[in-house]
Amino acid sequence: MSKKVGTLIREARTNAGMTQEQLARKVRNCSASDISKAERGEKDLTQDQLKQIARATGVTQTSLLTAARGGTSSGRKASSSCASKSSMQVTATERRLVELYRAADSGTKKAAMKVLRGEEAEVFVESILGGAIGAITGKK
């Protein structure tokens, strides 16, 4: 595995606030030692393991897979494209939102996008307020 991929893995892991051990627990058939060796460019990880690392750290799978193949993405060098994507800081709440979005069915994803764009914010707020008022008054 190239040092470029190892650097991306280390950057993604540290930006996610994870130790090598914590990351290894989220990747099948991978130990903290394997993560350490991969970060130093001494061990090749499988594509599946790279996908799991991307998912666990919140970076795009494409960034790690492209770098692992030594290719480029969008006409730019993989290192500059990937570094800018993986260096984005996300909060724990943002990471949780991504996890929930990935686990949701397509209808829920569409509804969530409408709410986030403000297209159905009124309906969303009304349903929350209605539920809260019902809970307080004991009416539904």
> Any idea where the domains of the chain sit in the sequence?
3-86, 104-137
Question: Between 36 and 74, whose confidence is greater?
Answer: 36
Q: What is the pLDDT of residue 121?
A: 63
Q: What is the pLDDT of residue 85?
A: 42
Question: Can you tell me the mean pLDDT for 8-32?
Answer: 93
Share of the chain above pLDDT 70, in %: 72
Nearest to 56 by CA among 86, 16, 28, 83: 16
* Residue 10 banded pLDDT, cuts 50, 70, 90: very high
CATH number of this structure's domain 3-86, picked from the four choices 1.10.10.10, 1.10.3720.10, 1.10.260.40, 3.90.550.10: 1.10.260.40
Question: Between 140 and 138, whose confidence is greater?
Answer: 138
d(CA 107, CA 110): 5
Question: Can you tell me the mean pLDDT for 96-103?
Answer: 81
The C-alpha R_g of the chain, in whole angstroms, comes to: 20
Range of weakest confidence among 17-31, 62-76, 126-140 = 62-76
* Residue 48 banded pLDDT, cuts 50, 70, 90: very high
pTM: 0.50
Question: Between 39 and 73, whose confidence is greater?
Answer: 39
